[in-house]
Structure 1
Amino acid sequence: MPAPTASPTTTPAAALPTEPSAEGARSRFGPVALVISAGISVQFGAALAVMIMPRAGAAGVVTLRLAAAAIVLLLLCRPKVRGYTRSDWGTVVAFGVAMAGMNGLFYQAIDRIPLGPAVTLEVLGPLALSVVVSRRLVNLLWAGLALGGVVLLSGHGGGGLGFGSLDPLGAAFALGAGAMWAAYIVFSARTGRRFPQADGLALAMAAAAVLSLPLGVIEAGSDLLVPSTLALGVGVAVLSSVLPYTLELLALRRMPAPTFAILMSLEPAIAATAGFLVLNQALSGLDALAIALVIAASMGAVRSQIGKQPA
């Protein structure tokens, strides 16, 4: 997707007869690296959030995360608020609503069910988006393979294959977070086209923080102001919001939403790794097989996208 800023000057193909394909490959893999880096950051941030949730509750952690992220982004970006249309503001507010909903529902989920199954259920939202909006049959194949990995990974921490042993409300929250994640992808791409740099992200994050603040105050109250909790909340904000959302917004300017959505199938694998390293959650052989399927599907989606672009 084209960025809203001016495109860089391109060199005529005739001037560099042997280089365009290499440069083209780098430019196509660049957004993929951004998405993977964002996934690593957000899942390790989620693992940290699980550790501090007993201090502030699920809603309190969401409030700390979004408020700290909004402050950091507003200070760094100093976004302009003039010169935008009502439609532009509608887009950025919708992006903020999707962000607040995605975070709020997800943290309610991981307060009730383990991190691996929660992320596994959540990723169904982006996968469904990829199937709905894709116009290439091969993307349906990769989405199906990723879904198979998601089903297998659902046994992680859940007491067996499937989600029957999980708290039903927690599973419902995770599915709701997945729906909001799909909306996040759509409105993140639209915001990136309408606002320069990360200005739209900063404004949307501020809207999300305002929406989450009342719930956080009701649940956690003065516990939100404990210095150690605040410090950990800032760490979660940087890992789970500031860094990954910025990377994803930049990636969506150069990557179609269907490919981005299928790449999100890497999230259960990354979450399982974060759970193992941070929360001491062991991986079973079934988990490893599921991770392999998910990674294979994601790489297949990337290769098919690269294959259809001109060199």
Structure 2
Amino acid sequence: MNSQLFATACMLLSMVSYQVSASFAKQLFSHVSPLTVTMFRLCFAAIIVIVIFRSWRILPKFKTLNWSNLLCYSASLGLMNLLFYNSLSHLPLGLAVGLEFIGPLGLALCSIQNRRDLIWVSCSILGIVLIIPWGQHNGNFSFIGMCLAIGAGLFWAAYIYFGHKVVRQNIGMHMLSIAISFSALLLLPLELWQHPHELFAVQYWWLGLTIAILATALPYALDLVALKHLARLHYSILTSLSPVIAALTGCILLAEQLTVFQWIALLLIVTASIGIAVSSQRPASD
């Protein structure tokens, strides 16, 4: 029981760490662009994971790797981060995370085999509908931000899809080092074209490093600890709480307020995600 509680605490701390990093990133937007913040995170994260996993040992295997899947995996990671940070410049943290969650949730919904699981489809659709302040003026909502967040979710789904393919290459956590490094390299030309001076704004590097640690190094370390003690179902259920934790983090650190309907929408998305996680553990039936 103690190990279960410890693992649960690690998972919750991991999610809080990630959302705190997002709140720091959002505050950094007043000084540099979301693209630059994305580059900060990816560049510092690449250095961190390469050192932690000593990924230079994978260099001799480069010629034998399936680079088509690795590049798709890397591109999905980079574009997921880029679109998510751009969505944060238009939406409250909780709404951006909730809408981004639609990507992996949709991927899971595509594999449903029980008709009764269609209720989770309904929950997710209703959640999206309630997030939008129909016919009301609401300064915390933007259709552009919505599209960016859902786009980030689609690339999150692609990241999961290609991740399943890359993991078959048996290169362990080195796949993460390669993905982060190459996603940074893929976005570098765009950064140098649009914001050639921001990337070298040394006064903001410490914030970029902090974001990378809170969004990458610390969550992955905590997740690895949690996975040793938590069943896959429990892990999935806890992960489903991310939108609510994001909304609470945005409320506390960024003073972002959501409407009652938007809170209900996030809870519906969380419910759909938990429902799919539970359904995936049941044998298929008509």
Change (3 A) 1:237 1:277: same
| Equivalent residue number for residue 116 of structure 1 | 94
Partner of 2:256: helix, strand, or coil?
coil
Judged with a 3 Å threshold, the aligned counterparts in structure 2 of structure 1 residues 285 and 171 are, in CA distance, closer, same or farther, namely closer
Give the Cα separation in 2 of the matches to 1:36 and 1:308. 29
Q: What does residue 200 of structure 1 align with?
A: 175
**1:12 matched to which residue of 2?**
none
Partner of 1:275: helix, strand, or coil?
Answer: helix
What do you get for the CA RMSD once the two structures are aligned?
A: 4.0
SS of aligned partner of 1:282: coil
How far residue 287 of structure 1 moved from its aligned partner, in angstroms, is: 3.7
Q: CA deviation at 1:131?
A: 1.5
Take 1:27 and 1:139, find their aligned partners in 2: how far apart are those partners? 32
- 8 Å CA contact retained: 1:98, 1:181: yes
The gaps in structure 1 that reach 5 residues or longer are 1-24
- Between the aligned partners of 1:26 and 1:136, the Cα distance in structure 2 is 35
Mapped contact 1:99–1:205 kept (Cα < 8 A) = yes
Tell me the CA shift for residue 247 of structure 1: 6.4
Tell me how far 1:56 sits from its aligned partner. 1.6
Q: Within 2, Cα distance between the matches of 1:247 and 1:186?
A: 23
- The answer (yes or no) to whether the contact 2:98–2:266 under 8 Å persists in 1 is no
Question: Are the structure 2 counterparts of residues 180 and 45 from structure 1 closer, same or farther at C-alpha, using a change threshold of 3 Å?
Answer: same
Q: Tell me the alpha carbon deviations over residues 1-24 of structure 1, each in whole angstroms, 9 at most, x when there is no partner.
A: xxxxxxxxxxxxxxxxxxxxxxxx
* Number of the residue aligned with 1:61: 37
Aligned mates of 1:253, 1:190 — CA distance in 2: 23
1:272 and 2:247 matched = yes
**Contact between 2:35 and 2:191, CA under 8 Å: does it hold in 1?**
yes
- State the one-letter code of the partner of 2:20: F
Corresponding position of 1:13: none
Q: Kindly tell me: are residues 258 and 85 of structure 1, through their superposed partners in 2, closer, same or farther at Cα, counting changes over 3 Å?
A: farther
User: For structure 1, which segment, 271-280 or 261-270, has the greater mean C-alpha deviation from structure 2 after superposition?
Assistant: 261-270
Within 2, Cα distance between the matches of 1:69 and 1:186? Answer: 22
Which of residues 53, 56, 67 in structure 2 aligns to 1:89?
A: 67
Please state if 1:211 is matched with 2:186. yes
- 1:206 CA drift (Å): 0.4
The amino acid across from 2:206 in the alignment is A
Query: Could you tell me the TM-score, scaled by structure 1's length?
Result: 0.73
Pick the aligned partner of 1:142 from 120, 132, 140: 120
Deviations 1:256-279 (A, max 9, x none): 999988876533222211111110
Q: Does 1:49 align with 2:64?
A: no
Report if aligned partners of 2:34, 2:85 keep a CA contact under 8 Å in 1.
yes
Return closer, same or farther for 1:173/1:295 CA change in 2, 3 Å cut-off.
closer
3-state SS of paired residue (1:75): helix
Which letter does structure 1 place at the counterpart of 2:104? P
Contact 1:130 1:262 in 2 (8 A): no
In structure 1, distance between residues paired with 2:117 and 2:226? 19
Instruction: Tell me the amino acid that sits aligned with residue 237 of structure 1.
Output: A
Q: 2:79 aligns with which of 87, 101, 124?
A: 101
- Rounded Cα–Cα distance in structure 1 between residues aligned with 2:45 and 2:96: 23
Q: Given the alignment, which residue of 73, 90, 104 partners 1:126? A: 104
1:178 match: secondary structure: helix
Q: 1:54 aligns to what SS in structure 2?
A: coil
- Residue aligning to 1:223: 198
CA distance in 1, matches of 2:107, 2:225: 19
What SS does the corresponding residue of 2:110 show, helix, strand or coil?
helix
Aligned 8 A contact 2:80 2:155 in 1:
yes
Deviation at 1:72, TM superposition (A): 0.5
Match of 1:233 in 2: 208
Q: For residues 175 and 206 of structure 1, what CA distance do their matches in structure 2 show?
A: 24
C-alpha deviations, 1:64-110, integer Å up to 9, x for none? 00000001111111121223665533322221100011011122222
TM-aligned CA deviation for residue 178 of structure 1: 1.5
Q: Deviations over 1:226-268 (max 9, x none)?
A: 4441001011112223344566799999999999888765332
Aligned residues: 280
The one-character-per-residue Cα deviations of 1:199-219 (angstroms, maximum 9, x if unpaired) are: 110111100111122233344
Cα distance between partner residues in 1 of 2:46 and 2:277: 32
Instruction: For residue 179 of structure 1, report the CA deviation from its aligned partner.
Output: 1.1
**Against the structure 1 CA distance between its residues 270 and 165, is the aligned structure 2 distance closer, same or farther, given a 3 Å change threshold?**
closer
Contact 1:77 1:199 in 2 (8 A): yes
The aligned residue for residue 242 of structure 1 is 217
Aligned to 1:96, what secondary structure does the other structure show? helix
Structure-1 separation of matches of 2:116 and 2:213:
36
